[in-house]
Each structure stands twice: as structure tokens, then as C-alpha cells.
Structure 1
Amino acid sequence: MIALLGACLLAGCAAPHGGVRTADRLAAAAGMERCVVSGAGFRHLVFIKGGLGSAPDVHVYLEGDGLPWVSRHRIASDPTPRSPLALRLMAMDPAPSVYLGRPCYFGLADGDPCRPWLWTHGRYSAEVVDSMRAAVRAVLPPDSTARITLIGYSGGGVLATLIAPHLAGEVRVTTIAANLDIDAWADHHGYSRLSGSMNPADQPPLDARIGQLHLMGERDQVVPPATTARFLARNPMAAVRSVSGYDHGCCWLEDWPGVLASLDASAVAIEVQ
């Protein structure tokens, strides 16, 4: 706990937006600790559940993109997600867990060096990835040898695949409804490509030491499974589960305890009912 207190700035947000209030309420109900951690040039809201000091396994949850745009031509002043699915998943997780917010999210958008580029075209940029990687290490005890499982929902899954190669030790990645080829995803929807972001489908394959599980909903119209084909072709060792009847939001919460139980049993062989 001493190391954790050294990393955390125990600060709240003045007049928090609705998304921040929702996150705080969900976290408090689940008994999570709230703090702000410094990454590489940015601050990150963090929620922590369970003791991290001697934990052999730590789950790190990464949220979706939230609300980067209010409309197709209007950028949001605060991209904080209004309904944080990854936080709800973490609340169901019995393992020691960390919920890591992105730079400039959760009421931190007004601070320097935040700018709208970081939650629009640069949402998966090297700046964002480097700061989130540093924040993961900042929140863990310096002598931690825990196996880290990065669990990313939607755009959080993109960040999980980009962060994983830069973490030492044993690392696993689990993505849920993630747009793993951001060019194919943008083209499918007729969006401008995220020119300031790194595309997982263009990166070298993840090292074989990094266990991968990618969960997809067969009915997902936000990230159709076909748009991830190029990423999966570059990562043939990855485990993939396409779940009948699921879409982008439904029904990951309902079956999450079963996914976690399987994740604990094996890094690869996971059955989703």
C-alpha cells in the first residue's frame, strides 16, 4: 500500500461530468479505491480493487473510446464514456484488478497537455500508448512479478494490443469487440482514418509469449468481425471466439463470470457459453 500511495495522487474532480459521476458511483459500490496516477506526460484516473502487493495475477481493464465526438462534425469537450462497460466487467472480477483511464478522460481533459487530437485522430497514438504503459507500471509495486492480463473493450482492446509488447514479464491480452484493424473499421463506416494512431493490423505480430484471446459478437455492427481479418491473419497464434447472438454491447456482462473462470484455467482454451 505504501508504494501505491506513492504513485497515486488522491485527488477528485471539481464539478465532475455525468460520465465521471457514473464511474465513481460504480467503483464505490464495488469497493474500489480511486486515485490519479502519473504516466508519461499525462495523468490517468485509476480504480483499484483487491491487494496488488503480492498478487500473482493482476487484471488491467481498458475502457472503450467513450464519446470522442458529439456528432459527426463536432468534437466532444470531454470524451469520458457515459456507460463504462469495462468498469462494470471489472466490478464482477474477483481477481486483483486495475481500471486504467486514458489520458484526458474522466474530468482531466482541461489539463495540460490535453487537446482534442488525443481522443479523436490520435486516440491510439504513441503518446497515449506510452503514457498508459507507464501508468500500468506506476500503479503496480516496483517489485511486482505478477502476470498482467490486459482486458480491453472496443477501442480499449486496440490499446491492449499496442501496450502489451512494451510490458516486461508474463503478459496476456483479452479483447472484447475490439476494432483491431482501425483502417478497415473506419473504411467500413465511411469515417476518416485515424491518421495519428497506430493500427494493430500494421504492427508486427505479438510475441508468442503473449497469450491472446479475442472475443467478438457475430451480430456486432459497430465492429463487424470481418473487419478484424487482417489483424488475425498476422497473429495466427491468437485464440478467437465469435459468439452467436452477441453484438457490440450485448451480452458481455451476463457471461463475464464464465469467461473469467475459463481465463483463470487457461490462457488459450476459453469456451464462451
Structure 2
Amino acid sequence: MKHARLIVLLSSLLMLAACSHGAHRDALRDQLVANAGWSSAIVSANQFDVAASWKTPVPGQGKTHPKTLFVYLEGDGLAYIRPNRASNNPTPDDPVGLRMAIADPHSGPVLYLARPCQYVIPDHGRNCARPYWTLQRYAPEIVDSLGTTLDIFKTRLAAENLVLVGYSGGGALAVILAAQRHDVVGIVTVAGNLDTSYWTGRDKLSPLAGSLDPADFATKLGNLPQVHFAGANDTTVGPDVTRAFMARLPKNTPVSAITVPDFTHFCCWARDWNQLSRRTELSAIPGWQ
């Protein structure tokens, strides 16, 4: 009996610690958004609730391309706490995608979308289950939920065109979403996991069963301007994954690959994004000033 009570007590303490950690991650996002003067909301989008933050344009600015919405898609977040143990909450410890969005230099509207199940557990985590941030992280229902969220904010912010900017797993989702829509005019990925079959095979990982593979959509993107950033020292994904994806693009695709020396998967995209986002290669993206 004492042993059973001890197990229950330890389980309760672990749950409290997990909740506290999740609250700390939520508070970090809230602080970043507040400091930037942005707005936030949780949107009900099909099967999931999606946490969004956005900057509205300053009146009188953004006249060159006022109807282009720049959308930043967060990475996979805290999918695992150990190699073989999934987390209870995929909210990232440090939201690199959000920090990049806030550093975006455009005067027009900028939107940040967390992945479904990030920043919504426990109060708004409809249908959230571990497979959706592990093996099924790019499942069709994940993509559909983000697509609906894009439609909602496209109307709310009076946009006509979308430029999708995806960090890490957000890069995979940017590619898949762009292949399924007709309003995306450009893709930018940063440390993007763009060929998951190649990646899991290279690292001897379990295949992402139930997920879509962005590389399978490459043939549909031959006319879409793209810029793909990779860190030279990224041992999590790496430039070779970018090359594997680009090898599947149709010939003459307007695409550029930029490998940044000394950068890893995490460092230092957010810190240097304001500068990196002014690279001349990005001028190929419609609306990118």
C-alpha cells in the first residue's frame, strides 16, 4: 500500500512539474509578444486549436505590397524529452520561429502560427495526442488545420498573397501547404526538414508513419520562388537534407540554397534573422522588400 501511494505521489509531482514547465514556456511566448506590441489569439481550426500572434501594419506603411502576408510557421518544438520518450506538451522551450517573426523587417502584416498542440495544452488542446508531435507531426489533419488558420487570417488581415517562412519542421509544413494552395507566392525555409524519408533513413530513425513527406510535393513547386537556409554545423537536419529536397524539384525551379557558416539547427537564426532576411537571394520572393 505504501509503495502504491509513493507511486501516485511521484506521478503527481511529475505532472505538476510538467505543468509548471509548460506554463513557463507559455509565459515566455506571452512576454515576447507583449514586448513586440503584437496581438494573440487561439483559433479553432478543424480538428485542432492553433495559437497565433500577429503584427498589423502601421498606417501609411507597407504600400508597395500591402496585400502580402508573411507567415512564420514554428518548428516541431519539444517533441521528445529523451530519444525514446515523447514529451507531454510540444510547446517549444524557445520559440525560434516566433523570435524570427518578430525580427521580420517588413512593414506590412506578419503572422506567426504555432504548431497545433503548442501553447494550447491543457485548456485548448482539442484532440492533442503524442503521435501528432512525433510520428504524425506532418499528418494531413495537421496540414488541414493550419490551412484553415491561414484562411482565417488571410481574411482578418485583408491579404491576397502569402509568403510562407518555416523554421525546422515548420519548413516541411510550408512546403506541403504551398503545394496545396493557390495563394502562396513564395517559400522561405530555415533549417527545414524538407525530405523526411531521406532524414529518417540517414539517421536510422523510425519512419514518420502517418506523416506527409514534403519531398513528395516537390514536383508541384516548379514555378514557385523558394529560398532555403541551412546551417553548416547543423547536425539535427543539415544542408544535405536541403540538397535531397532540391534534387527532386523540377528543372529551372527558381530556387536558392544558402548555407550559413557556423550556424547550427538552433543557433543563431533568431538572433541574426533581421540581417539574414535582407540577403539578395530573397529578392526573388514576390513582396519581399
TM-score, length-normalised on structure 2? 0.80
Counterparts of residues 70-81 of structure 1 (less than 5 Å): 70-81=81-92
Q: In structure 2, what is the Cα distance between the partners aligned to 1:148 and 1:116?
A: 30
Amino acid paired to 1:248: H
Matched with 1:30 is 36
The answer on 1:239 being equivalent to 2:239 is no
For the 8 Å contact 1:52–1:58, the answer to whether it is kept is no
Computing the radius of gyration from Cα coordinates, the structure with the larger value is: 2
The answer on 1:248 being equivalent to 2:265 is yes
Distance 1:247 1:121, change over 3 A: same
Structure 1 counterpart SS, 2:171: helix
Q: CA shift at 1:226, angstroms?
A: 1.5
Matched with 1:183 is 197
Matched with 2:14 is none
The answer on 1:213 being equivalent to 2:227 is yes
Matched with 1:135 is 149
Matched with 2:69 is 58
The answer on 1:104 being equivalent to 2:121 is no
Distance 1:69 1:80, change over 3 A: same
The answer on 1:86 being equivalent to 2:97 is yes
Deviations 1:118-175 (A, max 9, x none): 1111101111011101101111226945321111111110110011122232421100
Matched with 1:226 is 240
Matched with 2:208 is 194
Q: In structure 1, what is the Cα distance between the partners aligned to 2:152 and 2:267?
A: 33
Distance 1:70 1:240, change over 3 A: same
Structure 1 counterpart SS, 2:118: coil
Q: In structure 2, what is the Cα distance between the partners aligned to 1:139 and 1:203?
A: 24
For the 8 Å contact 2:165–2:188, the answer to whether it is kept is yes
Q: In structure 2, what is the Cα distance between the partners aligned to 1:113 and 1:28?
A: 28
For the 8 Å contact 2:40–2:54, the answer to whether it is kept is yes
The answer on 1:118 being equivalent to 2:135 is no
For the 8 Å contact 1:43–1:108, the answer to whether it is kept is no
Amino acid paired to 1:51: P
Matched with 1:203 is 217
Q: CA shift at 1:259, angstroms?
A: 3.0
Q: In structure 1, what is the Cα distance between the partners aligned to 2:219 and 2:58?
A: 30
Q: In structure 2, what is the Cα distance between the partners aligned to 1:84 and 1:249?
A: 10
Distance 1:106 1:40, change over 3 A: same
Q: In structure 2, what is the Cα distance between the partners aligned to 1:199 and 1:33?
A: 32
Counterparts of residues 7-18 of structure 1 (less than 5 Å): 17-18=23-24
Distance 1:156 1:25, change over 3 A: same
For the 8 Å contact 2:97–2:270, the answer to whether it is kept is no
Structure 1 counterpart SS, 2:277: helix
Give the structure with the larger helix fraction: 2
Structure 1: give runs of 5+ residues left out of the alignment. 1-13
For the 8 Å contact 1:52–1:140, the answer to whether it is kept is no
Distance 1:204 1:265, change over 3 A: closer
Amino acid paired to 2:194: L
For the 8 Å contact 1:27–1:33, the answer to whether it is kept is yes
Q: In structure 1, what is the Cα distance between the partners aligned to 2:184 and 2:129?
A: 34
For the 8 Å contact 2:56–2:157, the answer to whether it is kept is no
Matched with 1:5 is none
Distance 1:214 1:264, change over 3 A: closer
For the 8 Å contact 2:163–2:185, the answer to whether it is kept is yes
Instruction: Identify which range, 243-252 or 136-145, moves more after superposition.
Output: 136-145
Amino acid paired to 2:275: G
For the 8 Å contact 2:186–2:285, the answer to whether it is kept is no
